[in-house]
């Protein structure tokens, strides 16, 4: 199983980025997906999650209204559209896959993890 994140980079505050996570080696449509992030010196935290069908999503309060998670099961890919970026969004962003029909937020619910992509938001 491989989860490969892309789309990170350096952006000014107020800007946008779209992260992608391409999955291989698993039946993608059987997995709920999530995005997490880890800022320097901080613990990894939940950002957003989506059910395996894409019919339900959830967000951390800190990103609600600015970030949008989506998925394309035909392309085995989950996305995170990030608008209105703030300096506090600077972190390594990870996608993760969880088996099941639910919507998951806890890290130990996720079986597979990507290597992460770095997002830096400058002031």
Q: Which two tokens stand for residue 61?
A: 């309060």
**Which of 76, 70, 36, 68 is CA-nearest to residue 54?**
70
Side-chain-side CA neighbours of 62 within 13 Å: the count stands at 12
| CA–CA dist 72, 108 (Å, integer) | 24
% residues pLDDT > 70 (the chain)? 100
pLDDT digits (tens, 9 = 90+) for 101-111: 999 999 999 99
CB 110 within 8 A of CB 96: yes
How many CB atoms sit inside 10 A of residue 61's CB? 6
CB 57 within 8 A of CB 33: no
pLDDT digits (tens, 9 = 90+) for 58-70: 999 999 999 999 9
């Amino acid at each position: 199983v491989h989860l490969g994140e892309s789309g990170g980079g350096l952006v000014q505050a107020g800007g946008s980025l779209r992260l992608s996570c391409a999955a291989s080696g698993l039946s993608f449509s059987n997995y709920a997906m999530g995005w997490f992030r880890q800022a320097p010196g901080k613990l990894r935290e939940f950002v957003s999650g989506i059910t395996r069908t894409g019919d339900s999503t959830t967000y951390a309060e800190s990103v609600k209204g600015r970030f949008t998670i989506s998925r394309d099961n035909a392309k085995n890919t989950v996305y995170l559209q990030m608008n209105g970026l703030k300096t506090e969004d600077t972190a390594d962003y990870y996608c993760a896959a969880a088996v099941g029909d639910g919507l998951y937020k806890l890290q130990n619910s996720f079986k597979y993890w990507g290597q992460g992509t770095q997002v830096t938001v400058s002031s």
